[in-house]
Amino acid sequence: MGIAAMLGTPIKRREDPRLITGQATYVDDIKLMGMLHMAVLRSPYGHARINGINTDAALEHPGVRAIYTAKDTKGVLGNIAVAVPLGHIANGMGARGALAEGKVRFYGDPVAIVIADDPYAARDALDLIDVDYEPLAAAIDVEKAMQPDAPLLYEEFGTNVAYSMHPPTDEIDKVFEQTKADGGIVRSLRLINQRLAPASMETRGVVADFNKASKSLTVWSSSQIPHLLRNNLAAIVGLPQHQVRVIVPEVGGGFGSKLNIYPEEMLASFASMKLGHPIKWIEDRSENLAVTVHGRDQVDYIEVAATKEGKVTGLKVHGISDLGSYCQLFTDVIMIAFGFPVSCGAYDIPHIHLSADIVFTNKAPTDAYRGAGRPEATYVAERAIDLVAHELGKDPAEVRRINFVKPEQFPYKSAAGAVYDTGNYDGALTKALEMVDYQNLRAEQARARAAGKLVGIGIASYIEICGFGPKGSAPVGLYESARIRVEQSGTVMVYTGSSPHGQGEETSFAQIVAEEFSIPVENVLIMHGDTDSTPEGRGTYGSRTLAVGGSAVYNAVQRLKEKMKQIAAHMLEASPSDVTLEDGKFSVAGSPQKAVAFADVAATANLSNTLAPGIEPGLETTVFFEPEACVFPFGTHICVVEVDKDTGEVDLKRFVAVDDCGRQINPLLVQGQVHGGIAQGVGQALFEGVTYGDDGQLLTATFMDYAMPIAKEFPDFELDHTITLTPVNPLGVKGVGEAGTIGSTPAVAAAVADALGVAHIDMPFKAEKLWRVIHQK
């Protein structure tokens, strides 16, 4: 029974019973003997010098055990690692330590910590710490922050621009000139992807416990990257890796925000090492919105050239990435490394010019957020295509078809340098158009407009790059791992380097193992999230878990299956080449009655002293999988909206999504990921946005101010798929965790612009903004 027989099995998530019945263990559920609690004093200013800190009164507060500031951690704790430091960042610009030293650079910057017997005493003591701040002018607008007279976050560098990339424009300029000479068009647009808060249901949290006798540190963290956290934390606190253990229990969402090392993990570890007690810190929601990394915050200036028929001849993109105040793990490369490679989108654009500035501002650091660079790049490509359609008066679906990469062109190297594996972009568009009955939908729109209604239809055809990462594409190997042990009972234990936070990995991985071993899925146990028991892995992010981690599991199963066939052949007195595995039994081809059960082979492997010569006892193997290339999921989303003329409010009438993530291991999991992704993408388009005042004060510090969509804002999503296998991994899977977000935002943007009859309007599409556009027209 091969992998194909497993396709499309929509079994329910095995994780759900413990989650929905309150039986799951999260970081905040960890309780240890003698545990103390940490609270963090944070800057109320966006930019200020620290002239002095007085902790005397706070130290006298009942229950307070200790207070630490930067003078205590300096020279003891290292800085947060940066994966690929660009430009000035390689020389220390944006380096982030545990606590602010000398000055604070954003609202919420940690200044001191209080350790107390309970969280209430710790928080109360924060109010008793006296900090002498000298407020400074803040750099908030990213383009103003680039100017010579802007307030500087890092004065020693003389600029806020950390890195610039401005290649010559001679070639693209010639393309634009020739296009105009041939009767085509060249149009420009300024696009904004506003700053967003990931706002996962579970905030961040950490428990650190240092054992002085063994000099070992155990850290429980709500993290997406247990091994990377272990490796970096060991370096930061000055311990060998084997003396640091990271345990990731259940994680209530992350969306990229938990793909990082944070000051609180460093500080809790530091305090535990100093005091000899376990230390717990749980982030509250205001802290979460203020200091957990934000996403997006990118300005793009685009210029697109096209023939009068609608064929794009060239695209010029200048991206400005707002890094915020410090550099986290991937902060500086989100736009350049993850976004720029897919700037051509699903389109055969022969010429592209990409330039960039990455800039520090007095805001919270930005880093990965669901899609991480690809939503911004897709927004650029889709808005460019819609701009061409708008200017030429052509149907946006037609313009997409004119420009799509054709199936026979794969593998396809885009002008931006990425090599797309497989795809049928027109197939996904065609299916989505059929689902909405596109021609009749346009006719209905015309009738609605004639009746005075503002109805808009938006299309977005996206691709994304994921399944990171190919050999040599990063400073370290981006492999995943699996260790599988078949117990004598026939139960299969699977230990994975990847660690989920809502993806359903315990279900999908178990399905792979159960299918390949031809055993009940209940006989497969998936273990993850403990660096002491699982093999090294790079974590769960970038829609890579199934493509990379699942492939490691698959390959490990194949290795053990071959060994089991050899053992079964010895038991059956047959040749291994004649042995097959089906319905839980190893049998001899052509003689199905000559068979031995899977569990019996497992028992023989673990217990027998009469194994064939050359066969070692036991059934256990560890496999690492590092792909040769990335994978490129794709799809088309279509959105229908109606904008209220009198109020400017947007009513989302229909949303259709056709996604292609390669082979689907479990369609239910795919639907869940797409559903959640669409919700977040619509949230960006219509509601969300982190806002700062000119002085750096955070204006969206609670859910009263940071608007997020709720269930009533959405219609029932109409979901379907196409299946285009990839040759990059043995499963043929591509990844789907971020697809819904990447496709949905530009689809909504296109629909709103279509409803208003304009080429473009900046997100979020809040009622007052749209009302003004309507009444200005």
The amino acid sitting at 47 is H
In a domain, 18, yes or no: no
Q: Are residue 318 and residue 436 in the same domain, yes or no? A: yes
7 band by pLDDT with thresholds 50, 70 and 90: low
Q: Is residue 709 domain-shared with residue 730, that is, in the same domain? A: yes
Which residue range forms the structural domain that includes residue 108? 27-136+201-253+258-291
d(CA 165, CA 82): 19
- What's the length of the chain? 777
Residues 91, 209: one domain? yes
Q: How far is CA 334 from CA 296, 372, 512, in A?
A: 9, 6, 32
Is residue 87 predicted with pLDDT exceeding 80? yes
Distance CA 714, CA 124 (A): 41
pLDDT tens digits, 334-349 = 999 999 999 999 999 9
Residue 5 confidence (pLDDT) above 70: no
In the 8-state DSSP scheme, what is residue 621? E
Listed residues 240, 275, 291: the one ending a domain: 291
Residues 500 and 619 in one domain: yes
State yes or no: pLDDT of 4 exceeds 50: no
Q: How far apart are CA 582 and CA 590, in angstroms?
A: 13
Per-residue pLDDT tens over the stretch 449-467: 999 999 999 999 999 999 9
Q: Are residues 602 and 638 in the same domain?
A: no
C-alpha distances (whole Å) from 462 to each of 376, 632, 659, 740 are 11, 10, 9, 10
Instruction: Write the DSSP string, 208-266.
Output: EEEETTTTEEEEEE--S-HHHHHHHHHHHHT--GGGEEEE-------TTTTSS--HHHH
- Is 118's pLDDT higher than 60? yes
Mean predicted confidence (pLDDT) in 18-26: 96
- Token readout for 32 is 């240890």
Whether 162 is in a domain gets the answer no
Boundary (domain end) residue, out of 625, 642, 661: 625
Contact 279, 268 (CB under 8 A): yes
710: confidence class by pLDDT, cuts 50, 70, 90: very high
Total domains, the chain: 3
**DSSP H helices in 1-67:** 16-20, 56-59
pLDDT of 2: 44
Give yes or no for residue 321 having a pLDDT over 70: yes
Judge whether 189 lies within some domain: no
CA distance 385 to 380: 9
Is the same domain home to 647 and 705?
A: yes
Q: Is 482 helix (H, G, I), strand (E, B) or coil?
A: strand
**CA distance linking residue 29 with residue 31, whole number of Å:** 6
681-704: pLDDT as tens digits: 999 999 999 999 999 999 999 999
pLDDT for residue 477:
82
**CATH code for position 477:** 3.30.365.10
Average pLDDT over residues 231-241: 98
Residue 474, pLDDT score = 78
What CATH code is carried by the domain that includes residue 59? 3.90.1170.50
Are 521 and 425 members of one domain?
A: no
Give the residue among 674, 677, 703, 684 at the shortest CA–CA distance from 752.
684
Residues 307, 319 within the same domain: yes
Query: Does 338 lie in the same domain as 284?
Result: no
Per-residue pLDDT tens over the stretch 484-525? 999 999 999 999 999 999 999 999 999 999 999 999 999 999
In angstroms, rounded to a whole number, what is the distance separating the alpha carbons of residues 92 and 110?
A: 19
Q: Is residue 183 part of a domain?
A: no
Q: What is the pLDDT of residue 6?
A: 59
Per-residue pLDDT tens digits for 392-444? 999 999 999 999 999 999 999 999 999 999 999 999 999 999 999 999 999 99
Look at residues 270, 291, 312 and tell me which one is the last residue of a structural domain: 291
Q: Are residues 85 and 107 in the same domain?
A: yes
Q: Are residues 444 and 378 in the same domain?
A: yes
617 in the same domain as 497: yes
Residue 185 falls within a domain, yes or no?
no
Rounded Cα distance between 541 and 382, Å, is 24
Cα(39)–Cα(287) distance, integer angstroms: 11
Q: How far apart are the first and last CA of the chain?
A: 64
The pTM of the full predicted model, rounded to 2 decimals, is 0.96
Q: Is residue 543 part of a domain?
A: yes
Is residue 435 situated within a structural domain? Answer: yes
- What percent of the chain lies above the pLDDT cut of 90? 96
pLDDT at 217 over 60: yes
Stretch 5-32: mean pLDDT, rounded?
91
**432 located within any domain:** yes
Residue pair 456/756 in contact (Cβ under 8 Å)? The answer is: yes
The mean pLDDT value of the chain amounts to 97
Residue 26 DSSP label: -
